[in-house]
Amino acid sequence: MFHLTLVVGLVGCGDAPLPERVAPPLETGSAVETAPDPSPVETASPDSEHSETDSDTDTEVVEEVDPIDDVAVEDTAVETAPDVPDASAWLFGAERVIEIDISINPEGVASLYADPYSYVRGEVTIDGLVVPDVGVRLRGKIGSFQTLDGKPKFGIDFDKFVDGGSFFGLERLNLNNATVDPSYVREHLGYMAFRANGVPAPRTGYAWVRVNGADYGLYVSLDAIDDRMLARWFPDASGNLYDGKYVWYGGWSYTLLDFHASTYNMYQLEQGEDVGWADTLAVTEALAAPSPDFTTALSAVVDLEHHVRMVAVEHWVGQLDGYSLNQNNNWVYFDPGDGGRAHILPYDLDYAWLQDWQWGMNWRTPRGLVTAGCMSDGACRGAWRNESVVVGDTIDALDLSGELHRVSVLIEPYVARDLRDWSDVATTAAWQADLDGWIGRRSGEIRAFWGL
């Protein structure tokens, strides 16, 4: 059973020294961007079996649904990242934990307490490479936000104060605190599943973070979703990109976004041309227009082949706080190379790997309007069902269980040292064991859901 109650507190882990670095630091002040040459890392997986939760309570209920049409899914619809040199690849993956030191002057620290979401000027050192004049801000909303007194999420912007600034091709880097994911692997494994199925998604890695010399602990590092990330997936990354996460007013007051008459103009344009939300309005109007052929009508403005694949992965990884079930945590990219059609991209998997009933939801009745329309339409629902089989086979071939074990070995000594996190090694291992059980049974659950 997954834990839904967030326990807040500091867990003492003793005075053990930091785990030995996998790769030695480079000389400080190097002006030339050269990726560290990581030493081989031992990643032998433990042989112990992990307990699985009771399938009687964790398996989704199979309900009778209307007949669905058999619709073949075009293999050519799968997006693949262009085969281009990737200078930033060494920052991601589960081969090692990089070290990131963030330096902020007293005025900047005071500003982050007063206005945590606005960038302040700072300096970061990443595995010995010093990058001055970067933007640093705090991130997170309900559930994950913490101040500098705790273990906050960070956003690092290399381009904020230096025009054209970047680090190995990255303009921005996000650092997640894993406050609601003591396993530290929900995002790492979840985004692996999306990327393997051709759905654009961030890369992930691990970092030990210090701020002004103080240890802030183990973090999950991620690509920011921006034009640099989009360029790895789309031949034309110049289209409009909107942030689809909820609008937060403080406390428990917020508005969830979707392609609806009341919210289509609340999407925040992150890049591209301000068209007065004409693109999000077009999707809204297509959804609202009466049509006997949902697939034909919506396909003019939304890439439905991409969408059913994205939804099938959301379903497999149990993403409760994403677009389909909760109208949250997504980005929308209007691809100029695809006739300007919308691609809904996944984001923030802190609350993935959960059964729908745990939040009082049901995959038979998704809330995201595009996904709900698809479930109600026989042709689109048939495409979703067929894609679910392909997605499950693809994920099973990834050996996520083996990857989980490799990550567990890598991060365990860092978890033990992290004094700012409420979890400890035993808690992390227990959450990882729950997730391991999920991996082993999920494809069977999905097939049962569809009556296959």
- pLDDT for the residue 105: 97
Burial class (CB in 10 A: 0-12, 13-18, 19+), 257: buried
256-271 pLDDT tens trace: 999 999 999 999 999 9
Q: Where are the domains of the chain?
A: 70-76+235-399+444-449
DSSP 206-267: EEEEEETTEEEEEEEEEE-SSHHHHHTT-S---SEEEE-SPEEEETTEEE---SSTTTGGGP
132: closest CA among 109, 155, 110, 104?
Answer: 104
Does the pLDDT at position 306 exceed 60?
yes
Residues 6+ apart with CB under 8 A from 83: none
Per-residue pLDDT band at 422 (split at 50, 70, 90)? confident
- pLDDT for the residue 85: 58
Percent of the chain scored above 70 by pLDDT?
Answer: 81
What is the rounded CA–CA span in Å between residue 273 and residue 241?
9
Mean pLDDT to the nearest integer, 180-199: 97
- pLDDT for the residue 44: 32
333-383 pLDDT tens trace: 999 999 999 999 999 999 999 999 999 999 999 999 999 999 999 999 999
Per-residue pLDDT band at 168 (split at 50, 70, 90)? very high
- pLDDT for the residue 144: 87
Please, are residues 186 and 134 in contact by the beta-carbon 8 Å criterion? no
Per-residue pLDDT band at 36 (split at 50, 70, 90)? low
What is the rounded CA–CA span in Å between residue 231 and residue 82?
8
Mean pLDDT to the nearest integer, 267-290: 96
270: closest CA among 321, 225, 303, 307?
Answer: 225
Helices (H), 347-399: 369-376, 378-398
Does the pLDDT at position 11 exceed 60?
no
Per-residue pLDDT band at 9 (split at 50, 70, 90)? very low
Helix (H/G/I), strand (E/B), else coil: 355 = coil
Percent of the chain scored above 90 by pLDDT?
Answer: 76
- pLDDT for the residue 130: 97
Helix (H/G/I), strand (E/B), else coil: 381 = helix
Does the pLDDT at position 40 exceed 90?
no
| pLDDT top residue among 9 and 300 | 300
| Amino acid at site 92 | F
Across the chain, mean pLDDT equals 85
What is the rounded CA–CA span in Å between residue 69 and residue 379?
5
The two tokens of residue 138 are 């705090």
User: Using CA atoms in the order 161, 166, 172, 176, what is the torsion angle rounded to 10 degrees?
Assistant: -110
